[in-house]
Structure 1
Amino acid sequence: MGRAERVVLAYSGGVDTSVCIPYLKHEWGVKEVITLAADLGQGDELEPIREKALKSGAEKSLIADATAEFVKDYAFPAIQANALYENRYPLSTALARPLIAKLLVEAAAEYGADAVAHGCTGKGNDQVRFDVSIAALNPSLKVLAPAREWGMSREETIAYGERYGIPSPVKKSSPYSIDRNLLGRSIEAGPLEDPWTEPLEEIYALTQAIANTPNEPEYVEISFDRGIPVTLNGTALDPVTLITQLNEVVGRHGVGRIDMVENRLVGIKSREIYEAPALLVLIQAHRDLESLTLTADVTHYKRGIEETYSQLVYNGLWYSPLKAALDAFVQQTQERVSGIVRVKLFKGTATIVGRKSTNSLYSPDLATYGAEDQFDHKAAEGFIYVWGLPTRVWSEKLRG
């Protein structure tokens, strides 16, 4: 007895999602499998992937061009929130999952499917992100996860696929698991499973090795309008072009690599390598511009919001009520975060060397130690007395 008549499957063209097609049909009795491949700027030629899905038994193979939506509606809000999971990972892969879930739900509605499916295993974060996001968008829609339940090893999965004419795309020379979109790449598995093992240079694609970077620094100027990056070196660019060009410039100088052991939601630690050149620099520049344009109390309070925001995105709660509430807070703070940030790129470092804004709260007359100083030095003594009074009283009582 099949679990569903018609299923929309999130499809990447890899082993697991390809095997999901015959598995759903032959083991679970699904009559029609419609695949959906999302173009998120990963640079792959998607037509072969579309054709592979059809050869693997899909009734229909869809390609959704969602790169612009990905940047505008997912990456940019995360930049405004300075979202860094565990203060390091800019969520380049995690941000794609709620969008893919949205595309699945929309396709299911369009084609009258009563279920959606994905190829996630039971150890990763993505299964949570897909399942929870789909439940938030359409709680009546079934979610099927064959790879989580079929219990086959990697070798058995490949053999199962070969029974139905699916060739193995895995090369023995490449033991890594890689996910890529416009925002960056995530690399795991193989030798990287040993946290002591240094990553080989061959795993990187978006960032140059330090030895190969230019011997002269390069400066880039990024302007923001209410927290959204809008120009690069004075040229107004659409969101996708801005990220694309900045990836190239930043990566050329070896900036954007992350090597970390992160805490997965499912309770295990995982060694992950990320490349996210543009995204990391944009968050760094944006955060610096906030230091110029936000008051101290808003800046400090927002740091706690940013940590919670990052955890929500990482943990698959993009469409949750708390995330929506935090979005409202973040958007309110961005009203005056407009200006230009100057970044120096050199030998694997990105250093903020200048910032300016018409909304700047920096006052030269108050900050200077020169003759133009307008700060009332006499007021400091009274301020210090009142500020330190609780400590003074505590000390007096302590000493009796």
Structure 2
Amino acid sequence: MLWQALTFQLGYNATLVTLGATLLGVAAGVTGTFLFLRKRALVSDAISHATLPGVGLAFILMVAMGGDGRSLLGLMLGSAGSAWIGLLCISALTRRTRLAEDAAIGAVLSVFFGIGIVFLTFIQTMSEGRQAGLEGFLLGSTAGMLYSDAVIIAVGGAAVLLAVIAFRRPLSAVAFDPEFAASSGLNVPRLDLIMMGLVMAITVVGLKIVGLILIVALLIIPPVTARFWSERVTGVLWVAGIVGGVSGYVGAALSAIAPALPTGPVIVLVSFSMFALSLFFAPARGVLAAVLKHLSFQRRVHVRQGLLALAQGQPIYEKLTLRLLRRAGLARADGVATSDGKARAAKALRDETRWQMARSREEFALAATFYDGLTEIETVLTGDQITELDRLIGAPKGVRP
């Protein structure tokens, strides 16, 4: 059954929903990258909660005008309007009062969500509201989604993705260094507004699939996951888009075979599983890589200290140090240095003496700051500098028996 959903064999509408969720995930991941890099992730939460009054008010107005209150396009327009008002309120509170942005976001988020709950409660008292299905906008639901709804979501996600691609460079500049971007002639407030507009568009488009409560997860988890895999903006954008797309694709497929499960939580759980895998297994920044790097550093320290002990004729009491030296062929079981061990120990002691001399000389002060006890001196100093240090130190000493 799952394979049929993943290979688009469950029907035309299910295929459209899956494609729409995939496009939404890609667009959300890419858009959320700039929000994450700008350190304004909480804004997305405020925007999502600010859409609820618009959903309720749009339903009431459409019913009052004799239309179908469940029209997705009308509900999306209403949610976009209330989200935009919420953004303006946050901006006004931040600029015209002494409130910090996080306080303004908290105030707007709670007030707008409260208004939305009041509207939904009122709708339940209406005869048309009993089958409105607006609770699906809270957690997302693809059950009973119409063909037109799927097309709107797919087109909306694609449009936002194209807009992000068009503004990628200026948004990247603002995300990393707003002051430099402003000095370069970029209109930072306008670009911030564009970024918030894109986030709002993703939030509105994703209401039906992910829901207003969890859309923030689809905006933030993919770029956070991508950060484990890349140090460059382009790389983060690509990985975030892939993570978001896979989350939407697999989550929508799982929801298609289990209609009782809300779509939003399923998509978010798929996204979180990819985050968890990245957290532990990313090659450069994952937990496993950090543990392996620490163990490697620990072994290097033990070998270095063991070589210095051999060079000075001191006994080695640490079992791990002796085991590492034996494994490298630098010492025998009784702690006596081998021929290779004597050569390595003499060089380690010589390098240590060189660094001590370098730290005492003003002309080597900058280079000496790179010394950590493990860095090879040849990677920091030039041959002429090493020769000068050797001249100051004198003839090298051999390993003590």
TM-score range, shorter chain: under 0.3
**Higher strand content, 1 or 2:** 1
Computing the radius of gyration over CA atoms, which structure comes out larger, 1 or 2?
A: 2
Q: Which protein, 1 or 2, shows the higher relative CO under an 8 Å CA cutoff with sep ≥ 6?
A: 2
The normalised TM-score by structure 1 is 0.26
Q: Where is the helix percentage greater, Structure 1 or Structure 2?
A: 2
TM-score (norm 2): 0.26
